[in-house]
A and B are shown apart, each in its own frame.
Chain A
């Protein structure tokens, strides 16, 4: 499988279908693939399910996608923030669905999807609203909840550097969900700051091997 190097973010997001489940990387703005989200807004896909840690900040990026009415459902751990007014208004108006998932379960459910795990027993949230109605099992005297994978049709992630094979390295805490989401979607699209020649990344430092990555685009220069 080869990784496609795209000249523009519009090319990178081409073909994302209505009704897709889109995994969106980033924690706050760190690792947020802003160019790809903006391109997805221009591309026009709607009725999307977005899986991301947050539900958008301010009026740009994910918040702008929500504001355009393209998102049917958000699966996230922390939608409410000081600057999440776009999501808050949509939610209160009953115009968007919300599934709140504990942050570790969000990551592990995507990890499971990428690793071919059918489901897993997890102790998080036992006895709380977020696991109500879910199957439980006692293992060695502790109660666990059965959690299912979250798989994406598409993942949009931000990384620091790619080579022409799609191998990715990240930088500091901007790594966050990127490596996990890269394994968990059918089509994985990465926005990077720099694309280097194949062989220029130290193989020991590659975090996401290129086989997971379908398309790469260099992010636009910021003023």
Chain B
């Protein structure tokens, strides 16, 4: 375990102290909130880091949409099998209890409500839980959706993991998405480097902050924010 994740696992140190979280620290915060024994799909990119922070005895079952349950960690040198990859086409390993299935079954599993949680990245999330993460809509952009739309409507809980602001400082948590949507009102919780937000029927509730305050966040986001529940 590294120093960053130790800091974050200690709520007192993470809340209100220090600065924005690193990617690994965000992954540790997400991992801490995944109930034991959940069936989880981790999206390509940052969300795959969450696997590194799940306790060894978590009992969490990882699903990869190219057709596997009980996916193991990335393959080390000497373990690489070209027939065994994750959704990002990275060579992975299998754990005891693993099962393989074809693509239609894999997505039926998703749509049928058999996955507890998926964790995805995003360009934008709206206050109402709309998700935009597949296409920038730019005229020269080549659209590519993969399984994002299926996951957005299929998993019982959709967690988003992203930085709260773009590199130019624009908020990614917005009143309404300006990028093309992936799913309507599908996001349950947003993990960012500055705070964690629950999407509730009454609006966005801040449940944790990292090196910032509710007032400071409210000042930078063009959104009403609810305070953490006492």
| Chain A residues close to B by CB (< 8 Å) | 27-31, 53, 77-81, 87-88, 91-92, 98, 100-108, 110-111, 122-130, 160, 170-180, 207
How near does chain B come to A219, taking the closest CB pair, in angstroms? 13
B85, B101, B183: which contacts A27 (Cβ < 8 A)? B85
Whether B100 lies near A172 (C-beta < 8 A) is yes
Tell yes or no: B165 within 8 A of A by CB. Answer: no
> Who on chain B is nearest to A125 by CB?
B149
B94 contact set on A, CB distance < 8 A: 172
Whether A173 lies near B135 (C-beta < 8 A) is no
**In the assembly, what is the distance between CA of A128 and CA of B84, in Å?**
32
Q: Which of B14-22, B30-38, B104-112, B211-219 contacts the other chain?
A: B104-112
A80, A102, A177: which contacts B149 (Cβ < 8 A)? A102
Whether A129 lies near B180 (C-beta < 8 A) is yes
- Show 23 residue pairs from A and B whose CB-CB distance is below 8 angstroms, ordered by the A residue: A29-B82, A31-B83, A80-B143, A87-B142, A98-B143, A100-B143, A102-B150, A103-B103, A103-B145, A104-B108, A122-B111, A123-B153, A124-B149, A124-B153, A127-B181, A128-B181, A128-B182, A128-B183, A172-B68, A174-B83, A175-B67, A175-B100, A177-B102
How near does chain B come to A103, taking the closest CB pair, in angstroms? 4
A78, A110, A173: which contacts B68 (Cβ < 8 A)? A173
Whether A108 lies near B104 (C-beta < 8 A) is yes
B148 contact set on A, CB distance < 8 A: 102
Q: How many residues of B contact A (CB 8 A)?
A: 40
B50-89, CB under 8 A of A: which get 1 and which 0?
0000000000000011111000000000000111110001
Tell yes or no: B138 within 8 A of A by CB. Answer: no
B89-130, CB under 8 A of A: which get 1 and which 0?
100001000001111101110110000000000000000000
Tally of A-B Cβ pairs under 8 angstroms: 146
B85 contact set on A, CB distance < 8 A: 27-28, 30, 173
**In the assembly, what is the distance between CA of A58 and CA of B65, in Å?**
23
How near does chain A come to B196, taking the closest CB pair, in angstroms? 26
> Known interface pairs A103-B65, A124-B153. Does A178 touch B102 (Cβ–Cβ under 8 Å)?
yes
| Interface contacts beyond A27-B67, A104-B110: sample of 11 additional A-B pairs, CB < 8 Å, sorted by A | A31-B83, A78-B145, A79-B144, A92-B140, A102-B146, A124-B154, A127-B181, A130-B145, A172-B84, A177-B103, A180-B103
> Which residues of B154-182 are within 8 A (CB) of A?
154, 180-182
A102 contact set on B, CB distance < 8 A: 145-150
**In the assembly, what is the distance between CA of A207 and CA of B103, in Å?**
13
**In the assembly, what is the distance between CA of A172 and CA of B143, in Å?**
29
